[in-house]
Amino acid sequence: MKSKENELYCTIGKVATEKLQSLRSKLRDDTATAEDRQHLAMLEEITALAGNRVSVTENETIRKKGGRVWVERTSESHYPHIRLHGGALEDDPIA
């Protein structure tokens, strides 16, 4: 990935994380609006999906190197359930 593009994505992640923390604080302080709650839900979903994607990438790297990793197989035709919800970019990139 290009350096400038990588810097942009890192900055987006940092800003989104800061906003997530701010919205959680507003919720704890009972000052969150309905719009704040919607934004909080969206940022929590994005954060969870990003975490899943990182975990999938780490596990696939270990597996490609011959290491053993636990994977949830929901059928013989595809890999972990989280892939179906944004955990990986493809359904089964290592097949």
What pTM does this model have?
0.69
The mean predicted confidence, pLDDT, of the chain is 80
Burial of 79 (0-12, 13-18, 19+ CB in 10 A): buried
**What's the DSSP call for residue 95?**
-
CA distance 31 to 24: 10
- Compute the distance between CA of residue 80 and CA of residue 95 in angstroms, rounded to an integer: 12
pLDDT band at 49 (very low <50, low <70, confident <90, very high): confident
Q: What pLDDT is stored for residue 36 in this prediction?
A: 98
